[in-house]
A = this chain, B = another copy of it.
């Protein structure tokens, strides 16, 4: 029993210390926010689910809004690190050429879909939360930009190399469509289950990934190849 230093004080089944309390609050908040959205979950709901006192949210996080952002940030950092690692690996492996579009998209989406499928209920809830935030007028523009833009810029830089001479706007709009398709998947609303009368299931993320990558890659090629190879033939069409 050499572990009696003060770096892990009183680490037992009963009293787990302030860090454990923080994590219990974050875990409970994550699930409730994902299920019902920011505004319909009260601080009391969260602390009751976490099995801690009401006042501790304000002690540890300041207020409800800051708790929300902490939930959002906690897993974003892990995700972004892995996605950048994967992207770098793909780029290195393809050198000196640019990687295939499919490989770039896979590096971007696989770490997310894999965790949502197999990371446990915390990850599942987190991605459902992302789905709501991404499509929210209130939070979408600010929070997604703040926590995910760095990794998106790296991703777009890789795609820029895959489509030399491509108009920047085609790349950004193509990414926008990918973002919408991906985050709707995270929501797992069950709508496709109803629509397909059971042929497809919202929670079958392996099926999604298998299809999302070629679908999106084809979309990128449709927009980003034509703008460089056939700029004159581009139709000027009003809506």
Contacts and interface: CB of A to CB of B under 8 A. Distances in A.
Interface of A: 34-40, 110, 113-114, 117, 128, 131-132, 134-138, 140-141, 144-145, 149, 152-153, 168-170, 172-185, 187-196, 199-200, 202, 205-212, 214-223, 226, 235, 237-239
Contact of A207 (B173, B175, B216): B173
Copies of this chain, complex-wide, total 2
A210 B188 CA distance: 29
A140 B187 contact: yes
B192 A114 contact: no
A140 B217 contact: no
Contacts of A37: 37-39, 136, 138
Contact of A39 (B39, B214, B218, B219): B39
B199 A114 contact: no
Contacts of A175: 195
Nearest to A116: B239
Nearest to A227: B211
Contact of A192 (B34, B138, B173): B173
A239 B189 contact: no
Nearest to A128: B137
A110 B239 contact: yes
